[in-house]
């Protein structure tokens, strides 16, 4: 029987925890930050327990419908990852995507339901024989909040953008001031992500990568 899946939230935020503005990201395009997002959410660690059958391992991303809308159409579904969109009307979303003939995206009515669908890939392998390794919650605010209510959400990858931008959407937890979360060491972060994580500056914006694990 497969291991239960846990959830990792991944986000970038300003010093005031701003994550969005007017349906998009608040900062000018930061290619190295987006590169980090893409590599980390795509990478399947080689330490993953090898399965006996010849199943292809990949990760999954869970996002809200507004985040789906914010991704440039040419980049969605995010490739190499199973995409699950959370919406109050999953049937309508699937029908709409079907019209565009899109593949590789599913819809669910809640974050919990999304996680159940992904667990299903592992317990009842389908036609494609995909095995889900890591599950990333990629926003937005409503979906991060819903995920944080679940005990399976045990890790956060936070990129600290060290400059304030005007925002209308915020992450609800100050991880450095919450007793529920403990910041991991740089070594633990690099181990888990497989990334070198020196601070970066791009377009005059400095940012730094961090990881937090839930205590208890
Ligand atoms: N987490 C972090 N650290 N940075 C982010 O920018 C971020 N963004 C979201 C969620 N978590 C994040 C949500 N917004 C794409 C666009 C917007 C988006 C997430 C992903 C996107 O198009 N990604 C492509 C790469 C695009 C490119 O190379 O420019 C992908 O394949 O992941």
Residue nearest to atom 19 of ligand 1 (CA): 71
10 lines ligand 1 (CB under 6 A): yes
Report residue 103 as tokens. Answer: 């593949």
Q: What is the ipTM of this complex?
A: 0.99
How far is it, in rounded angstroms, from Cα 34 to Cα 159? 10
Q: What is the mean pLDDT of residues 92-107?
A: 76
123-179 pLDDT, tens per residue?
998 877 899 999 999 999 999 999 999 999 999 999 999 999 999 999 999 999 999
- Ligand 1 pocket test, candidate residues 8, 19, 23, 37, most atoms within 8 A of CB: 37
The token duo for 11 is 């986000």
Ligand 1 centroid to Cα of residue 86, in Å, is 17
- Taking the CA of residue 41 as reference, the ligand 1 atom at the shortest distance is 32
With respect to residue 125, please indicate whether it lies within any of the assigned structural domains: yes
Question: Model confidence over 48-63: pLDDT tens digits?
Answer: 677 667 788 999 999 9
DSSP class of residue 87 equals -
Tell me, in angstroms, the distance from the centre of ligand 1 to residue 177's CA: 26
Q: Is residue 205 part of a domain?
A: no
Is the CB of residue 171 less than 8 Å from the CB of residue 11? yes
Give the confidence band of 99 by pLDDT, cuts at 50, 70, 90: low
pLDDT digits (tens, 9 = 90+) for 65-79: 999 999 999 999 999
Does residue 1 belong to any structural domain of this protein? no
Return the ligand 1 atom nearest residue 30 CA.
6
Domain count of the fold of the chain: 1
Residue 216 belongs to some domain of the structure: no
Confirm or reject: Cβ of 64 under 6 Å from ligand 1. Answer: no
Tokens of 147: 């995920």
Distance 73 CA to ligand 1 centre (A): 12
Residue 129 maps to a domain = yes
Q: Is the CB of 55 under 6 A from ligand 1?
A: no
pLDDT at 52: 63
pLDDT digits (tens, 9 = 90+) for 22-52: 999 999 999 999 999 999 999 999 876 776 6
Residue 74 belongs to some domain of the structure: yes
- Cβ 66 vs Cβ 23: under 8 Å: yes
pLDDT at 101: 46
Domain enclosing residue 154, as ranges: 7-45+55-170+181-198
The answer to whether residue 212 is domain-embedded is no
* Contact between residue 12 and residue 33 where contact means Cβ atoms under 8 Å apart: yes
Q: How many Cβ atoms are within 10 Å of 22's Cβ, its own excluded?
A: 11
Per-residue pLDDT at 118 exceeds 60: yes
- Which CATH number characterizes residue 188's domain? 3.40.430.10
């Amino acid at each position: 029987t497969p291991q239960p899946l846990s959830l990792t939230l991944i986000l970038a935020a300003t010093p005031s925890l701003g994550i969005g503005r007017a349906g998009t990201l608040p900062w000018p395009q930061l290619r190295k930050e987006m590169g980090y997002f893409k590599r980390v959410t795509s990478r399947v660690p080689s330490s993953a327990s090898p399965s006996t059958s010849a199943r292809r391992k990949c990760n999954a991303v869970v996002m809200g419908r507004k985040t789906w809308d914010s991704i440039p159409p040419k980049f969605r579904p995010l490739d190499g990852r199973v995409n699950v969109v959370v919406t109050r009307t999953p049937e309508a979303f699937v029908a709409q995507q079907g019209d565009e003939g899109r593949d590789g995206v599913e819809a669910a009515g809640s974050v919990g339901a999304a996680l159940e669908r992904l667990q299903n890939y592992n317990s009842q392998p389908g036609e494609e024989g995909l095995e889900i390794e890591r599950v990333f919650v990629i926003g937005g605010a409503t979906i991060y909040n819903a995920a944080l209510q679940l005990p399976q959400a045990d890790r956060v990858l936070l990129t600290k953008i060290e400059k304030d931008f005007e925002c209308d959407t915020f992450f609800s937890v100050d991880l450095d001031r919450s007793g529920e979360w403990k910041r991991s060491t740089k070594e633990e972060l690099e181990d888990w992500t497989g990334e070198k994580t020196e601070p970066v500056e791009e377009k005059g914006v400095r940012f730094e990568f961090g990881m937090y694990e839930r205590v208890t």
